[in-house]
Amino acid sequence: MIYIPKSLTDINLIPIAASGSNPAVSADEQWTKLDAFIKADKYLNKHRGEYAERNAARSPFMNVFDFRLLQEFKIQVGNSTNKLQLSFDILNVGNMLNKEWGHYTYNSNQQFTLINYKGQTSTTKPTFTYDASGQTNGNTYLLSDFSSRWRGQIGIRYIFN
């Protein structure tokens, strides 16, 4: 369970040292970014000062629907009746109608960590860092460009009886 901080005094952020081309980040700078992230999320902002419920803050709901047109023909072969099916499918119809619809979002394991546990101080107070570099447009999930596109396919199936 994770506590959603109300203010900088609720979380013990420690500075991030400079490494390579990445500059050092102070605790105040980290809090400014973390606070903006919490404010942008409806659930987190509403529940500041509380422990987050399991699976309460999740990726957005995906609205995806498909369309299938199928025609079946009976074919008499000797004493048995077989079937031939011809189909036409449109996958992700919503995206075909509006490019803002039908987006597939996902999180891969360990892709993004909101806050990073860094150990404890000498007084056994836990310390953390916040690094927003894993976010894409302020989100902790990714948009699958390929899966979010609409697609069409034609199918043929022969069913032996």
Q: Digits of tens for pLDDT over the chain (161 positions)?
A: 788 999 998 999 999 898 888 889 999 999 999 999 899 888 999 999 999 998 887 777 778 899 999 999 999 999 999 999 999 999 999 999 999 898 888 776 666 677 888 888 777 789 999 877 666 666 667 778 888 899 999 999 999 98
Strand 116-120 versus strand 104-106 pairing type: unpaired
Domains of the chain, by residue range, sit at 8-159
Type of residue numbered 131:
D
The CA dihedral of 146, 147, 149, 155, to the nearest 10 degrees, is 110
CA 44 to chain centre: 16
pLDDT at position 110 is: 61
pLDDT at position 90 is: 96
pLDDT at position 149 is: 92
Tokens linked to 115: 């806050």
pTM attached to this predicted model: 0.64
